[in-house]
Amino acid sequence: MEDRTRQEQASPEVRARVRADFERQGLMRHLGARLTHIGPGSAHIVLPGRPEVTQQHGYFHAGATSAVADSAGGCAALTLFPEGTSVLSVEYKINLLAPAVGDHVEAVGTVLRAGRTLTVCRLEVFAVRDGERSLVVSGQQTLIRVGERPGR
């Protein structure tokens, strides 16, 4: 799948740091998710469709789409934090706009507001089928910045 527009990349240092964080997430590996873009204040994660990520009608399970959406928001927030800090999700809310059917879904996390303590992200998930891209999840997430050894 092609990005609709050319996306700005984060610096190599930031990309390496966010990628390392992503790769420590056992769930992302288990689901088969790939981190496909790291920009300043944004991140994209692609999740291929397969029986392991479905709900009872064969659509992508809301738990799977929201897992990649949550991680995309976390990675997006992390791009704006200094080295040696980390991030935890405080809460999120998603609307499932339409059944998620397709070859894969792409989650896009975008920072709406970065604060000293709290960061708020927009979460979107697009389903891609035969090259057609449609918005299937829209949501919002609050994250808290923590040290490397978190504990709110």
Comparing CB distances to its own copies, the nearer of 78 and 128 is: 78
Within 15-74, the residues that bind its own copies by CB under 8 A are: 21-22, 24-31, 50-57, 61-64, 66-68, 70-71, 74
Asked if 144 is part of the footprint of its own copies (rule: CB under 8 A), the reply reads yes
Eight-class DSSP state of 60:
B
Question: What are the C-alpha distances in Å from 39 to residues 91, 125, 144?
Answer: 23, 17, 20
Q: Which residue type, as a one-letter code, is found at position 113? A: R
Comparing CB distances to its own copies, the nearer of 2 and 56 is: 56
- What is the C-alpha separation between 70 and 92, in angstroms, rounded? 8
> Counting beta carbons within 10 angstroms of the beta carbon of residue 82, is it exposed (0 to 12), middle (13 to 18) or buried (19 or more)?
exposed
Asked if 80 is part of the footprint of its own copies (rule: CB under 8 A), the reply reads no
Asked if 101 is part of the footprint of its own copies (rule: CB under 8 A), the reply reads no
Comparing CB distances to its own copies, the nearer of 6 and 69 is: 69
